[in-house]
Amino acid sequence: MADCDPRWSQARFGGFELDRTSGVLKKLGLRVKLQEQPFQILTLLLDRRGEIVTRDELRQKLWPDGTHVDFEHSLNAAVAKIRQALNDAAGTPRFIETMARRGYRLVGPVELVGPHTSAHPHTAPSPDGPTGLPTDAAAAEVSVSIPVHSRRPVTLWVVAAFLSLCASVVIGTWDRSASALKTGTVPVPLTSYTGSESMPAFSPDGSQVAFVWDGPEENNADIYVKVVGTGEPLRLTSDPARDDAPAWSPDGRWIAFVRRTAAHFQGDVYVVPALGGVERRVRETVFSGQYAGPTLAWTGDSKWLAVRDDGAPVPGLYLISLETGESRLLLERPAEDGIDRGAAFSPDGGQLAFTRSGRLHVVDLDGLKPKGRPRPLTREAGATIRSQAWNPDQKYIVFQRHTSAGTGALWRVRADGSEDPLPIPNTGHSAFVPAVSRGGRLVYAEVTYDANIWRLPLDGPGVSGGPPARLISSSRFDGSMALSADGRHVAFTSTRSGTEQIWVADSDGSRPTQLTNYHEGFAGSPRWSPDGSLIAYDTVLNDRFDICIVPAGGGSPTRMTNTGKNKLPTWSADGKFIYFSSERDGRFDVWKKPLSGGQEIRVTRNGGIGGRESPDGKFFSYFSAEDGRLWVLPLRDNVPDESQKHLVTDGASLLAFDISKTGIYYGVFVSFGAVGDRTDPPSRSLYFYDFATGVTRKITTLSKPLSIGLSASRDESFLLFSQLDRNGSDLMLMEGVQ
């Protein structure tokens, strides 16, 4: 068992603070009674946070040889006392997770304080330190770890304060961030129900919160209202469809929400009395993509409701009169600027905040009309806001910065753009959908997104050979995987180090090793070269979306792209070209570039994404960028023959498919944790399209939702996929955000 970590003396997590020196556990400053042995176990779990501490390791540490005790009973009792002190539950753990017949694991964000330092996250140093990109990308800070095959992965456990540290390194504002963003408190749970609570919205006086909850049976999402503090929530809606995005009117009378239809990316806008009563339909809305989500925001006089409608003849943000039903375009969405999301009116009604192509913008208003052009406040993509985003004095805007699957952080930025964004302390890296009250309260959803890689045996192409088995797992996201051509290794994307990075493991899941370590960005979508010597992947770094390659054994990466927004690399069968999807001229198309250098070559010309060659170089497949249809066509002299294009399906997921010599493996629905509804539950099945027969057949149905990633072995003896094994969210409350 690893020795204790000497670099911290205090640990803060979920409203609790543990002082290992004094042996004291506190909650919100009040001492919580915990006996010596349970305290030692909790300290050991904090030392090994995120890792499994086996029962045998605990026995050796606490009850060494020669100690006569009923070990099983004593350990179970000690863990039960820890859970009682933390108000935790074995069935729905927030802190202590039981690993059946193995041991225990501490999950969730932890903030550490060293013996002689201020609050900081525990960060394992990179074994090699920073490594520079080639000259054309020298500004990018990246550390690439050379894999050292050991039984323990080289991990980088990064939690909330890491974001603050990154901000200080990049813009030199550590002192300013400490003073400007001081909250004087730590978040505490507002809800801790079974299932998922999300999308919070404050009442005008900040005493109540409306939110979405999938209910005690975890089978349908409805709108609830809860008083801040104790008490049971009031259920406002009960329709079988998913109700989403509640927004409380400033006069306190109404709560608006969207009832999603079977299409998932459209729905109907309703209003319901805040105290409960008869719902009233306002209009239909269509939002950009299945996962972008709807937008609702009230004007200050509660007479108009801003609704984003991307299905209108002129896509944009519309104002709807609650009295007359009049519809008025407030802000058009320029086609060349990508997707708009969110909307938040400033408290005085003079400004509107929203995100465009993942960047936070503000536009001045003259009454209910825009005045001037929108001004960007953030440079990097990934920002999301809700209707209640402004702090009380409207100097700051709170937003969510999404980095990868299951990973999000809360930041805020000055509305006048005079300062760079800064992270909000103590909110962790699993924080989503924030809302701010007029009195300075902050509420947000703390999300658990635990996706793991599973192995399904095959009895020939597209035929299940038995039940799947878990292969690679952590308490975070593991997915977006690719098998090497020889089947001996798997590259995958994981957030176990705090942000989305590339890892490599043996094909049996052993010896996972971190390959990339971008300090101010993240990496994903790894793909092996046919000879196994290189791995291509996509990056988001310094506001750039590029394709990079790195030696599979570790080393300095090389950036392959310089133009456009690029993602999803794959290799040609002969290893001479890299395919990738690039957004240029306002839409995505598939391009390829010689590995040896030279001009990029456009492959699709009518909108394409996710292009891949079959391993034998006979077929090429891609998705239509506009409607998501999956196509396959033969390759003639290494060029796709569009005249022989054949539709595979219009229901496959871009995020979970792979092409083999004999056909295409795919899933239909990839879950990001959103709750479906009773009327149209999402598919959990895997399918196979056979090149020889042109017939599609179901391979198997999974026990839980599919996550990101699917990879077939070259001999088609097994299939890897990512499954969302544990998902949920609770609402957290923080006071004094000024």
In a domain, 76, yes or no: yes
Closest CA to 411 of 380, 439, 365, 438: 380
Number of helices (H) and strands (E), helices first, in the chain? Answer: 5, 58
Q: Do 522 and 661 belong to one domain?
A: yes
Q: Residues with Cβ < 8 Å from 720, sequence gap 6 or more?
A: 453, 454, 455, 456, 471, 481, 483, 490, 709, 710, 711, 712
Mean pLDDT for the chain?
82
Q: Residue 411 and residue 414: Cα distance in Å, rounded? A: 11
Please report the pLDDT score of residue 292 as a whole number. Answer: 54
> Please, are residues 672 and 405 in contact by the beta-carbon 8 Å criterion?
yes
- Three-state SS at 445: strand
Q: What share of the chain is helix, strand, coil (3-state, %, to 5)?
A: 10, 45, 45
Q: What is the mean pLDDT of residues 345-358?
A: 90
pLDDT over threshold 90, residue 139: no
Q: Are residues 100 and 242 in the same domain?
A: no
More confidently predicted of 128 and 672: 672
- Look at residue 28 in the predicted model and tell me its pLDDT: 62
Coil, strand or helix: which one is 364? strand
- Contact of 527 with 572, CB cutoff 8 Å: no
At 170, give phi and psi (nearest 5°): -75, -45
Query: Other C-beta atoms within 10 Å of 23: how many?
Result: 12
CATH number of the structural domain spanning residue 50: 1.10.10.10
Q: Residue 278 above 80 pLDDT?
A: yes
* Calpha distance 571→34 (Å, rounded): 56
Q: Specify the pLDDT at position 569.
A: 97
Let me know: does 224 contact 235? Beta carbons within 8 Å. yes
Instruction: Look at residue 286 in the predicted model and tell me its pLDDT.
Output: 78
Cα separation, 410 vs 170, in Å, equals: 18
Q: How far, rounded to the nearest angstrom, does the alpha carbon of residue 499 sit from its chain's CA centroid?
A: 10
8 Å CB contact between 448 and 107: yes
pLDDT at 338: 63
Q: What is the pLDDT of residue 673?
A: 55
- pLDDT (0 to 100) of residue 404: 54
pLDDT for the residue 519:
73
Mean pLDDT, range 325-334, rounded to an integer? 89
Cβ atoms of residues 39 and 25 within 8 Å = yes
Q: Which pLDDT does position 405 carry in this prediction? A: 55
* Segment 32-56 mean pLDDT: 90
pLDDT at 290: 42
Contact between residue 578 and residue 569 where contact means Cβ atoms under 8 Å apart: yes
Q: Considering only residues 580 and 130, tell me which one the structure prediction assigns the higher pLDDT.
A: 580
CA 101, 104, 105, 108 torsion: positive or negative?
positive
**512 lies in the same domain as 656:** yes
Structure tokens at 711: 């990879």
Instruction: Read off the pLDDT of residues 519-563 as tens digits, 9 standing for 90 and up.
Output: 767 899 999 999 999 999 999 887 788 999 999 998 899 999 988
Is residue 456 a contact partner of residue 718, using CB atoms and an 8 Å limit? Answer: yes
Asked whether residue 133 carries a pLDDT value surpassing 80, the answer given is: no
246 contact partners, CB below 8 Å, separation of at least 6 = 199, 201, 210, 211, 212, 223, 255, 256, 257, 296
The CATH number assigned to the domain holding 675 equals 2.120.10
Looking at 333, 348, 371, which one is the last position of a domain? 333
Burial 310-325 (b: 16+ CB within 10 A, else e): bebeebebbbbebeee
**Confidence at residue 416, expressed as pLDDT on a 0 to 100 scale:** 92
Q: Which carries the bigger pLDDT value, residue 3 or residue 452?
A: 452
Does residue 658 share a domain with residue 518? yes
pLDDT of residue 378: 86
**219 and 315, same domain (yes or no):** yes
Predicted confidence band of residue 153 (pLDDT cuts 50, 70, 90): very low
| Degrees, nearest 5: CA angle 240-242-244 | 145
Predicted confidence band at 178 (pLDDT cuts at 50, 70, 90)?
very low
The reported pLDDT for the residue numbered 671 is: 65
Q: What is the CA radius of gyration of the chain?
A: 26
Tokens 């749970």 belong to: 189
Residue 592 has what pLDDT?
Answer: 96
Instruction: Using alpha carbons, select from 358, 347, 359, 420 the residue that is nearest to residue 389.
Output: 347
Evaluate whether 669 touches 262 at the Cβ level (below 8 Å): no
At residue 507, the pLDDT reads 94
Q: At what angle do helices 55-62 and 36-47 cross, to 10 degrees?
A: 130
Asked whether the predicted pLDDT for residue 13 surpasses 50, the reply is yes
Query: Which tokens go with 405?
Result: 């699957």
Does 211 lie in the same domain as 105? no
Give the tens place of pLDDT for each residue, 509-530. 999 999 998 876 789 999 999 9
- The answer to whether position 604 is within a domain reads no
- Region 469-478: what's the mean pLDDT? 92
Whether residue 441 is contained in a domain is answered as no
Neighbours of 428 (CB within 10 A): 27
Residue bearing the bigger pLDDT, 421 or 129: 421
* Residue 537 lies inside a defined structural domain of this protein: yes
Nearest to 237 by CA among 222, 225, 256: 222
Do 546 and 687 lie in a common domain? yes
411 closest CA partner among 394, 428, 423 = 423
Q: Could you give the CA distance from residue 110 to residue 119 in angstroms, rounded to a whole number?
A: 11
Q: State whether residue 372 is helix, strand or coil.
A: strand
Residue 115: the pLDDT is 65
Domain-embedded: residue 453: yes
Instruction: Single out the residue in 87, 104, 120 at which a domain terminates.
Output: 120
Residue 413 included in any domain: no
Kindly state whether residues 516 and 659 are assigned to the same domain: yes
- Report the distance separating Cα 675 and Cα 90, nearest Å: 23
pLDDT at 423 exceeding the cut of 60 = yes
pLDDT of 495 above 70: yes
> By percentage, how much of the chain surpasses pLDDT 90?
49
pLDDT at res. 127? 29
Residue 223 has pLDDT above 90, yes or no: yes
Sequence-separated (6 or more) residues with CB below 8 Å from residue 75: 41, 55, 58, 59, 62
- Residue 250 has what pLDDT? 95
Count of beta carbons in the 10 Å neighbourhood of residue 163: 25
Q: What are phi and psi of 338, to 5 degrees?
A: 80, -150
Edge-to-edge strand ranges of the sheet holding 234-235: 197-202, 208-213, 222-227, 234-235
pLDDT digits (tens, 9 = 90+) for 299-315: 999 999 999 888 788 88
Q: Is the model's pLDDT at 289 over the cut of 60? A: no
Cβ contact 622:611 at 8 Å: yes
Contact 730, 445 (CB under 8 A): yes
What's at 270, amino acid-wise?
Y
Range with the lowest mean pLDDT among 63-67, 170-174, 445-449? 170-174
Write the CATH number for 316.
2.120.10.30
Query: Is the predicted pLDDT of residue 442 greater than 90, yes or no?
Result: yes
Does 659 share its domain with 528?
yes
Q: What is the pLDDT of residue 253?
A: 94
Q: Residue 175: which H helix or E strand, with range?
A: helix 174-180
Domain count, the chain: 3
Q: What's the chain's length in residues?
A: 738
How far apart (Å, rounded) are the C-alpha atoms in residues 507 and 204? 54
Q: Are residues 547 and 654 in the same domain?
A: yes
pLDDT value of residue 735: 87
Distance of CA 562 to CAs 126, 327, 558, Å?
Answer: 28, 42, 12
Does 428 map to a domain?
no
pLDDT per residue over 45-72, tens digit each? Answer: 999 888 899 988 888 888 776 555 677 7
Q: Give the tens place of pLDDT for each residue, 189-211.
A: 999 888 889 999 999 999 999 99
Average pLDDT over residues 124-135: 32
* Other CB atoms within 10 A of residue 83 CB: 17
pLDDT band at 464 (very low <50, low <70, confident <90, very high): very high
In the prediction, which pLDDT does 101 show? 76
Domain coverage including residue 53: 10-120
Phi, psi of 324 (to 5 degrees): -110, -15
pLDDT in tens, 627-661: 789 999 999 998 999 899 999 998 888 889 999 99
Whether 611 maps to a domain, the answer reads no
Which of 71, 100, 120 represents a domain boundary (last residue)? 120
Helices (H), 2-87: 36-47, 55-62, 71-86
Residues 90 and 226 in one domain: no
Query: What distance in Å separates the CA atoms of residue 722 and residue 671, rounded to the nearest whole number?
Result: 10
Convert the pLDDT of each residue in 94-129 to its tens digit: 789 888 778 999 988 888 887 644 444 333 233 233
241 and 106 part of one domain: no
What mean pLDDT do residues 449-454 have? Answer: 92
Q: To the nearest whole percent, how much of the chain has pLDDT over 70?
A: 83
